[in-house]
Structure formats: C-alpha cells, structure tokens
Structure 1
C-alpha cells in the first residue's frame, strides 16, 4: 500500500500509513519489517538522529527457550519447564497467558529473524540467571547474534546506526562477540589465539578502514540492529529520524495516529505534523530512565538519570506518558533493568559493568569496608543489593570494587586493560582518582576512597580465606553454574575466588545504574495496551521497555529485554492483520491455576 495525504481542519497535512511505529530499536524495527512482509505500509519514527536505540548498545542477546539451534548444540529444553521458570520469576506480576504467549512464540520469532537475514546461535554454556529455580537450564536459552558484515549496509548507512559502547570494543576499535569474550575473559587455552585472530582480521582489512572508522565485523547489538536496518532498507520502509512523538490521536475510542515534531537537527526548522494510522500505532520507544522527574516519582531513592548506561536524550518516557494520557494503565514503574555503572571522563554515558566483577581477586564493599553481595551474581540483583544495603547502612551508594595487583595484571575492568598490556604508567592521568584509585596498602587505599580501613582489611582477609577453601561462606560466590561462566578456568578450586593480598591495591566507584526501566504501559498477550479496567485500547500496541515487562521484577536470563520486545512485536503484527496467534498449551494455564 502507498501512503496517502489528506488535509486536516487545521490546514496541517496529515500523512496516512497502515502502522506507525514509535522508536527504532529491535522491537520497533522487527514490528515494521513484519508489517511490511504482511503487506502493510509501516512508518518508523525516531526522536534522535541515530537508529537503533538502546538495542544498538546492547550485547544483542535474546532469551529464547526451545529455540531452533538447541538441537545442534545438544541442549535439551521443554516448553513446560520454560513456562514454569518464567512464571516463577515473574512472581505474579505478569499474567500467566502472557508468559505462555512469550515462551511459545519466542522460538517462532527467532526463526523469523533467521529468515530475514538476522542469524542467531544459542550459547550452550550460558546459564539462566537463577539456575536453582524450577525449570531453569544450565545453558542454551540465550542466543547471540551471528557476526554481521557491515559492507552489506555500506559505510554511509552504517553511520546512521547508533555506535556501541566503548566498553564493548577491544582497544576502542574492534568488535567482539559473546563467544570470543567468554574465551578471553575466562582465559581458556585458546584465548590468546582468539585475540590475535581478531586483531589480525581487523588490521588486514585496510580497504574497509579507508571507508569507515567502525569495524566491518559487527557483533552483539550492532549485528542485530545493522541486520534489522538492512532488512528494513530492503523493504523500503521509511524511517524518519529527528521526529519526536508529541501525542496520540484518538478518533472515538480508537487510537488513530500520532502528532509528531520533525526537524531541529542541522539547523532545520521544527514543524508539527499529524500522521494517521489505518490499523495501529505501536509504541516501542524505550523506558523513562533518562527522565529525572519520572525517576524521582517512581524509582527507589536516591536516583540519578546520569547513572544509566542508555543514550542521553533518548528514553525520556514520552511514549509512556502519551499512552497514559489516552487511558493506558501503568505497571511495574518502580523497577529497572539494573546494573552497576561507573563514570569514565569524556564518555557520553556511564559504563555498565556486566562481567568483570566475576573475575577472581576482586570484591565489592560499602563505606564500612564490608562485602554485602555476591559479586558474580546477576546484575539486576547487584543493583538491588546496593539499594538494600544503602538503606541499612547509608554507605553502598556508591559502592567500591576493590582488587589487588594480581587481578590488575590479568584482567580488564571498566576502561582499564590488564596491566600486563597497559601498565599503570601508561594509564591516562585523568583517570587516577576519577576512574580508578590506588594505594600501596589496603590502609592507604581505604584512606583515599573514604572506606573504613579495618573493615576493608577484614573483608580482604576473609575473601583470601574463601579463595583458599573454594567456598564463599557469606554469599556463595561461584557456587552455581551462572557465576562460574565468567570465572577464570585456570583458578582452582573456585574460578570466581582469588586472594586479595598483593599490593598495590585498586578501587573503582560503582553506582546503581541501569540499562533501562522495566515499568510501562500494561499490555495483554497480543501487546495491546490495556486501560485501568483491563480493557483493550483499540489501535494502540506497546512493546519493549515502553511496556511493563513480561518478566515481572526478575531477569530470567541474558536477552530478557530484547527477546520479549521482538516476540511481542511479532505477535502484535499478527493481531493487527486479523490473524492472532492462538495459545497452544492452554493445559499449562489450567495446571497453573
């Protein structure tokens, strides 16, 4: 179908599409691509000048139970176990039928990604985040995107995709996928060969480097979003950047379009436009983590939009507020996808710390010098533990990750490469006492960071004893398969524990950051927005962090944001086309009742 133009009473042109998608992350582009494949005319609007949203900054993983690649990897899974696991994680904060819709449809969506040229492979050793819960698996449900060749897009189109976090690049230049990252961080026998191969491939690709500063080999969220952008371009889907949602248009009881403001970039004059949607508006514009007022209204205190690891200027809750203005109910607004973050000068946003804290020879302490969590645990629990301990002690925001000279020599952390590669003398001078603090003794370090010296010394001594025995008696660090995934395979008896005993000693300041909020508009299993009475608002759909998470307060596994975003986008288009996807295993709902 082609778009049509009609005149409104105000004299402002009104452009009509079948489906208008607000946002340009994974859920948004998947919805637009699927709509085009179903014969609809979609439009994507994006408030910033770049495409990809937070999805482009992510690891690109998707959590897909019973996925098409598990058999190849020798992974056994079942729909029954997946439903039970997610239902347990959700703790009643997501309806059972919505949980079932997700675990049934996720594998269908993942296979569709493969069909449109966005290939994924399962990670057989990457465990669910709560491996002791019923229905959990020790690996195989998280999928990582296959590397994408940026030449398919070309240098000019690639520049339209939001670049990744500096922390996800080797030496600030080379992309790395999740498999290679694990090999290198865990110091598996082939780690040096993997690093050498990545560097050799990059440096011999001289013709591409003359065209673009960005690596031709795209991985993680870059591979996902470049692949989706490529698929959208193949279908000639219009994507309007620098176009912000102002409000939703309601015709009777139905959402029938959007009011947007276009322009403003490169000195262009802003103008307001009314856009009509024949079939639906899909909100997929992320959460509200960059809106300080909304954070203060809904989130635990203290809170600061600066701590988040998502793009500045994006995810300000506009679409959530627009949906609420037409009657949409809000749910889970007090929750985030938490992760500890740290400030690196001159970077546009705080860096998330996902995996380095799992390596042996470090610990996290509060102002008393006391450990208060399992450093290797899931990152949302890490953030929640910071809030809980701060409420009890007043000293966990910020917290400090402390490590010794052995750790510093072996492992990267934050922006620091191992001292074996970049010794202290070559670390940027501006980073000292801003990113990293140093003391020749633990007592000196404690004085520099304002932490109780006796408490810090006692915690280090206790951690060193745990390393000797292999058992963390306080928080059981390294006691499950998830913790051990990013441990050092050469360290025994526990790959997550090593002494903190050799000076000099170092510390970094951690904040209770996030990679997005998880509360938003309440939706049903077809991603239709519901009002406060549980009734569908016709014509309005919502996916991703724009909506309240199907995972409730939990984070079942890596990819629990992107997986549902794209899965419910897929289901939404089916419903919009008049072909809603029926639930297959309603017996599971009956048994759960």
Structure 2
C-alpha cells in the first residue's frame, strides 16, 4: 500500500497547522496539485490554540474607532525589536493584514471582537472557537473541496535537489512501520511550527533554561522543517526567540495545557500579586505581566520563582472579584469560582508545585527560603503605606500577605512557540548561507517568522504570530503558484 495517491505533485506542504492548511487551500484553489503531509495522527497542531490574529485597518477596528496607522505599527515594531526585525517583511505583512481578516471571514471564520492584550494595542482579532474552528470548520474542508490531498502519520524525512540545487522531491516515512517512499515535486513549503519541543535546540540555540521553560502547544514542534532545510544548506537565522507568556504553574506530572484555562493558574500568574525567587526575595514589579513576554524575561532572571498568596487574596478572587482583568480565557470572569476547588485538588494530589503552611515562617522553612520572612514583612509594610518604594507597583495591586494559611505556587516560564530558524525573502523563499534562494523551497509560519522579531515577542501588537501563520501560508502559496507556472509543470 502506497502512502500517497500519486507519485508527482506540484507542491508538497510539510505540516498541517494554520499556515500549512492556509497554503494548501490557496495553492489548490490556484490549480496546483497539492500534497499536505502531517506527521501526527491529527491535523491542526499548535494552530488549534491561536486565539486571534493581528491586523491594522480592518473593518472591525474602524467600527471601534481604533486610531492606529500602518506607520504607527511599523515604527513601534522596529523600535521594539531594536531594528532586528526586517523592515520590508513587516511593511508587506502590515499592508495585507486587514485583507486577511476579510479573506478568512469569507472562508467561514467568525470573529467575536478586536481588542488589545494587557498594555498592548487593539490589533487582536479574536476568532470564535480559536484557531481550532478556523482550521477545522473553514480551511480544512475548503482545502479538501478544492482538491488538496492530506495524509497523516507520515513524516517528511529528506528533501531532494537536482544538480543545480533545485527542489525535485521528498522522502516520506510512515510513522507506523517506517516504510519510506520518494515522490517528486516542483516545490516544498515548510510549515512545521518551529522547535519549542526540541530541548536540544532550546539548549543549543537559545539563552533559555529548558528546565524552566514550559511548552504549552501541540507537543509536535520539534524543528523538523528547520532540520530539513539546514540539511541542504539553508541559513540558520534568528534562533533564540520563544513566545514567552510569563509564569505558568510548574507541574511536571501533568500535561501543561491542562492549566491553560484554570482559575488557579490565572490567579498566580496574571493578578500582579507577590512573586519571590528561590531565596524568598522579591525581584520585579509584578505588573510586568501586562506584557507577558517581558514577564517571561523577568522570570528567567531567577533560578526559581514562586507566587505567594494568602487566604485573604484567595477569598477575594473567589468571592469578591479580580484585582485586574485577565486575558482571553478569563474575559467573562468576574470572580475565580474554581480557584478554591482547584487549590484543594492540587493539595489533595500533593502536586509538586503547591505548598501550604499556617505561617510564613513555616512556609519559608518548607521551601528553604532564608529571606522570605523578611521579604513578607517589608512587603506588608509597603502595602500598609500604599506606596511601593522598592519596585513602584501601583497601590491597588499591593495586597498584603497577612491572613493565614499561606500558599506558595512554583512557576515555570510558559511559551506558546518559537519564531525563527530560516531566513526567507519577501516571497517566503528560503535562503542559503550566502543569502541566495534555494529554488523551490519555501517556509511559512513559525519556521519563517524570525523576520518579524528581535529577542522578545511583542504583545504590544497582539496576534502578530498567529496572523503571520495565516498570512504567510497564503502568500507563500501564491508565490509558489507563480514559480510553478514559470517552470515546466510536473507531469501527473
């Protein structure tokens, strides 16, 4: 039994997530024969969790009278990245961003709102049902309708080139029995989602401590596309940037995604309450959570981090209200109704990240934090005066820690994805180590998104990576179409 229906295709796309399905639909609609290859049993990947996408000048923004120009965005993004981001890539993306909102809507994607995130601009076009619905109720059925062939549980193991370095085919391998086949193709789009789940690459090519990093994604983003491209001479570019999102309860016993929408995780990471390090010392203004990427950077300055709550804060969050509004999963929340049951369950299971004590001294002893008692005394004093002269947090978030029992929640640093690995031109063509095009090889989504960033993701323009996944998928499909039509068509 063969892995594919045919032996030749105009285009092979590696990875069936947001960028892969967008590319597949557009290329098939353009008349190309397209094979979409997914190594997992299920399609969608980390794209299923995209909450919303970036745009400037959309009809939704105009309806809300959002005063944000293309020049505003470009200048802010270049400044934010210290001009490590590519100016022309950003200009191109910005110019087509509003068009993508309409294009996806026409395919069946529904939006619920456009808003900012934390202190960010109002660029986040939230999708009903997140990326999961956009992919599986809009793009996937539409791609099938226009002729895309989709195979799962199959990996692309090698890219093939002719004597001139032009892409000519790929080797496929069944994940079930490791049976291999080679097919011919005119072009390949790599859309494999980056390398967040490849600890070796994280250790080798980033400054992050992989033991503190908590990937909250599909678990399949192991750098497959990057390794395929590097293996034929592609340039390794803009490695080292993960989309951090601040603290995340550190529980090695359970899949990380289970805590993504939990009230407990929201309480200890998004309410700007007290954070301390492994010695029990405060180390930052906890309002840094308003830019979740900055929060992740701040947490990585410490070896271990704990969020300290007393019973008074827990009662307030559960019964009275939030200290501050939170992100998409909590936008309708007025109180954290499940906070107490979730804490009780975690304690009952003796999960390693949570600690409870009747006194601060007891908590300090249990966690071997020599400075915690002094830190709490100082913090409570600042709360009473209403002025944080140490880190200048606003008075409304200076909530005293003085009502037992007391709780410490160990935090890791959450991350959604990496951005970067391959250098691409404005046609999303992959470049070699000399900056020359590898004919027939393209990259989209996270594999190519290093063109947009410096060392830190920008929640100041929320939705940029999710939006780029869809945009670059469509754009690369159109440029592949031009490439295929300008060369001899692959014989079917």
- TM tier, shorter chain? 0.7 to 0.9
**Pairs within 5 Å for 1:39-58:** 39-56=31-48, 58=49
How many residues are matched?
456
Would you say the 8 A contact 1:361–1:403 is kept in 2?
no
Query: Displacement, 1:475?
Result: 4.1
**2:191 counterpart of 1:288:** no
Identify which of 516, 534, 543 aligns with 2:435. Answer: 534
Q: Distance in 2 between matches of 1:34 and 1:425?
A: 47
Q: 1:162 matched to which residue of 2?
A: none
**2:278 counterpart of 1:367:** yes
In structure 2, the CA distance between the partners of 1:420 and 1:570, relative to structure 1 (3 Å rule), is closer
Q: 1:171 matched to which residue of 2?
A: none
In structure 2, the CA distance between the partners of 1:477 and 1:243, relative to structure 1 (3 Å rule), is farther
Would you say the 8 A contact 2:213–2:412 is kept in 1?
no
Q: 2:101 matched to which residue of 1?
A: 110
Q: 2:165 matched to which residue of 1?
A: 253
Query: Displacement, 1:400?
Result: 0.7
**Pairs within 5 Å for 1:382-421:** 382-387=295-300, 389=301, 396-411=302-317, 418=336
* TM-score (norm. length: structure 1): 0.70
Q: 1:559 matched to which residue of 2?
A: 463
In structure 2, the CA distance between the partners of 1:573 and 1:221, relative to structure 1 (3 Å rule), is closer
**2:173 counterpart of 1:271:** no
Q: 1:329 matched to which residue of 2?
A: 235
In structure 2, the CA distance between the partners of 1:554 and 1:525, relative to structure 1 (3 Å rule), is farther
Would you say the 8 A contact 2:119–2:291 is kept in 1?
no
Q: Distance in 1 between matches of 2:439 and 2:387?
A: 55
Q: 1:575 matched to which residue of 2?
A: 479
Greater relative CO, 1 or 2 (CA 8 Å, sep 6+) = 2
Would you say the 8 A contact 2:449–2:468 is kept in 1?
no
Q: 2:352 matched to which residue of 1?
A: 434
Would you say the 8 A contact 2:194–2:222 is kept in 1?
yes
User: What is the DSSP-based 3-state SS (H/G/I as helix, E as strand, rest coil) of the residue aligned with 1:323?
Assistant: helix
**Pairs within 5 Å for 1:186-201:** none
* TM-score (norm. length: structure 2): 0.83
Q: Distance in 2 between matches of 1:464 and 1:54?
A: 42
Which consecutive unaligned segments of at least 5 residues does structure 1 have?
6-11, 130-136, 147-218, 390-395, 479-492, 581-593
Q: 1:71 matched to which residue of 2?
A: 62
Q: Distance in 1 between matches of 2:31 and 2:385?
A: 63
Q: Distance in 2 between matches of 1:559 and 1:302?
A: 26
Identify which of 143, 147, 151 aligns with 1:240. Answer: 151
**Pairs within 5 Å for 1:156-555:** 219-227=129-137, 228-251=139-162, 252-264=164-176, 269-278=177-186, 280-300=187-207, 302-304=209-211, 307-312=214-219, 314-339=220-245, 340-344=247-251, 347-349=254-256, 351=259, 355-357=266-268, 359-360=270-271, 362-375=273-286, 376-387=289-300, 389=301, 396-411=302-317, 418=336, 422-423=340-341, 426-452=344-370, 455-464=371-380, 467=383, 472-477=388-393, 494=396, 496-549=397-450, 550-555=452-457
Query: Displacement, 1:261?
Result: 0.6
Q: 2:10 matched to which residue of 1?
A: 18
User: What is the DSSP-based 3-state SS (H/G/I as helix, E as strand, rest coil) of the residue aligned with 1:80?
Assistant: helix
Would you say the 8 A contact 2:14–2:38 is kept in 1?
yes
Query: Displacement, 1:421?
Result: 6.6
Cα deviations by residue, 1:412-445 (Å, 9 ceiling, x for unpaired): 799xx95777458952555435232111122212
RMSD of aligned C-alpha atoms? 3.1
Q: Distance in 1 between matches of 2:148 and 2:275?
A: 47
User: What is the DSSP-based 3-state SS (H/G/I as helix, E as strand, rest coil) of the residue aligned with 2:73?
Assistant: helix
In structure 2, the CA distance between the partners of 1:472 and 1:35, relative to structure 1 (3 Å rule), is farther
User: What is the DSSP-based 3-state SS (H/G/I as helix, E as strand, rest coil) of the residue aligned with 2:10?
Assistant: strand
Would you say the 8 A contact 1:331–1:520 is kept in 2?
yes
Cα deviations by residue, 1:387-408 (Å, 9 ceiling, x for unpaired): 3x3xxxxxx2321111111222
Cα deviations by residue, 1:555-587 (Å, 9 ceiling, x for unpaired): 22232221112112222122223299xxxxxxx
Q: Distance in 2 between matches of 1:116 and 1:440?
A: 56
Which consecutive unaligned segments of at least 5 residues does structure 2 have?
319-325, 330-334, 485-492
Q: Distance in 2 between matches of 1:448 and 1:433?
A: 15
Q: Distance in 1 between matches of 2:386 and 2:117?
A: 22
In structure 2, the CA distance between the partners of 1:470 and 1:85, relative to structure 1 (3 Å rule), is farther
Query: Displacement, 1:511?
Result: 1.7
Q: Distance in 1 between matches of 2:446 and 2:6?
A: 29
Q: 1:32 matched to which residue of 2?
A: 24
Q: Distance in 2 between matches of 1:271 and 1:16?
A: 18
User: What is the DSSP-based 3-state SS (H/G/I as helix, E as strand, rest coil) of the residue aligned with 2:135?
Assistant: helix
Q: Distance in 2 between matches of 1:519 and 1:307?
A: 19
Q: Distance in 2 between matches of 1:98 and 1:420?
A: 44
Q: Distance in 2 between matches of 1:469 and 1:67?
A: 46
Q: 1:189 matched to which residue of 2?
A: none
Query: Displacement, 1:343?
Result: 3.6
